[in-house]
């Protein structure tokens, strides 16, 4: 996923606009020519990067930091003037952080799952990416064609058809697809689509998890905040069936609620280790340790939270 001299298209235009806003590109240029390359080299030298005039992963990360889900971004950018942050957003943001997810985050088949994209790293191989794409297309068919279809309606229809259901029917980790998804991840309308879908999926996982949560840990109907985050993360990795199996596995272990919650993570860690091997296993262990360190055992009333969720724009079902 590189941009270099001789390239053209919307991603190049975004690069030039950003270099211009930072004061590095002072002359308009059509396409990625020598002027843009020189401007990019000036930016790279200023940031201590190799000044090769190519927009690769390291330069892109410095020039375009990932857009993460947080209170400030939601209330200041996506939903200006609204109090657009609630406990479900807190949990969704924690799950997204564990995934390394951001609105414009991409994983290019590094784990064999094809392209993974966005807040919850919706992945191509299990079919979750296809669901996101369908919702994005329904939200704005014209923009979907313009960005993800590259302006070609046939390419947009092909993308939808070949991401429906599981499997890697298109090499979306190869150009031009990663740049198209990156542009979609930086579009605010499609970010709102991601936000709504992520909230809905997390809420569905938490509702199912709460129902199966052991009664002995439901003090006055409440469960620990750490439990909600862990269940949402486990469900996002393993799916609803995997979450139910993890809950059953954890209930067979001895100990209090803290031990029960950690056993949920252990179940998925073992699953990931068997399926993908040590690198992904290490990442998964780290995210679950972070959940245990960051989230407390204070009781949270999930049914009440669900009842109070905004039934309008940000509805969960």
End-to-end Cα spacing for the chain? 36
Q: Name the pairing type of β-strands 299-300 and 106-108.
A: unpaired
Cβ–Cβ contacts within 10 Å for residue 238, how many?
Answer: 18
Between CA 110 and CA 182 the distance in angstroms is: 17
Residue-wise pLDDT tens digits, 115-164 = 999 999 999 999 999 999 999 999 999 999 999 999 999 999 999 999 99
Beta bridge partners of 55: 3
Residues whose CB is less than 8 angstroms from the CB of residue 297 and which lie 6 or more positions away in sequence, other chains included: 224, 225, 226, 257, 258
pTM of the model: 0.89
DSSP summary character for residue 77: I
Looking at the predicted structure, is the pLDDT value of residue 314 above 60? no
Rounded mean pLDDT of the chain?
A: 90
Whole-number pLDDT of residue 229: 94
Q: For residue 57, give both structure tokens.
A: 């992963």
Answer for the pair 24, 39: CB distance below 8 angstroms, yes or no.
Answer: yes
Whole-number pLDDT of residue 188: 96
* Annotated domain spans of the chain: 10-63, 104-185, 195-308
pLDDT band with cut points at 50, 70 and 90 for residue 70? very high
Q: How far is CA 179 from the centre of its chain?
A: 16
Answer for the pair 10, 183: CB distance below 8 angstroms, yes or no.
Answer: yes
Whole-number pLDDT of residue 275: 72
Residue-wise pLDDT tens digits, 281-293 = 556 778 888 888 8
Q: What is the phi/psi pair of residue 119, to 5°?
A: -55, -50
Between CA 243 and CA 234 the distance in angstroms is: 6
């Amino acid at each position: 996923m590189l941009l270099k001299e001789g390239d053209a298209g919307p991603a190049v235009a975004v690069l030039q606009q950003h270099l211009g806003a930072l004061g590095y590109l002072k002359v308009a240029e059509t396409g990625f020519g020598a002027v843009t390359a020189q401007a990019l080299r000036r930016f790279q030298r200023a940031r201590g990067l190799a000044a090769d005039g190519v927009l690769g992963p390291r330069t892109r990360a410095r020039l375009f930091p990932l857009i993460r889900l947080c209170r400030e971004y939601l209330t200041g950018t996506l939903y200006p003037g609204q109090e657009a942050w609630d406990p479900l957003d807190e949990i969704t943001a924690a799950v997204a952080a564990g995934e390394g997810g951001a609105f414009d985050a991409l994983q290019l088949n590094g784990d064999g799952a094809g392209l993974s994209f966005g807040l919850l790293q919706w992945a191509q191989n299990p079919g979750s990416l296809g669901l996101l794409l369908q919702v994005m297309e329904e939200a704005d068919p014209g923009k979907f064609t313009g960005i993800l279809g590259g302006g070609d309606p046939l390419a947009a229809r092909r993308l939808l058809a070949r991401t429906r259901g599981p499997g890697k029917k298109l090499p979306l980790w190869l150009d031009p697809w990663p740049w198209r998804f990156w542009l979609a991840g930086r579009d605010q309308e499609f970010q709102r689509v991601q936000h709504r879908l992520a909230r809905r999926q997390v809420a569905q996982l938490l509702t199912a998890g709460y129902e199966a949560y052991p009664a002995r840990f439901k003090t006055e109907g409440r469960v620990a905040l750490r439990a909600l985050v862990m269940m949402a993360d486990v469900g996002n990795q393993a799916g609803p069936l995997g979450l139910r199996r993890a809950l059953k596995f954890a209930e067979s272990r001895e100990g209090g609620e803290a031990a029960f919650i950690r056993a949920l993570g252990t179940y998925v860690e073992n699953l990931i280790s068997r399926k993908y091997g040590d690198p992904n296993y290490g990442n998964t262990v780290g995210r679950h340790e972070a959940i245990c360190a960051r989230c407390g055992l204070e009781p949270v009333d999930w049914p009440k939270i669900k009842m109070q969720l905004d039934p309008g724009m940000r509805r969960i079902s």
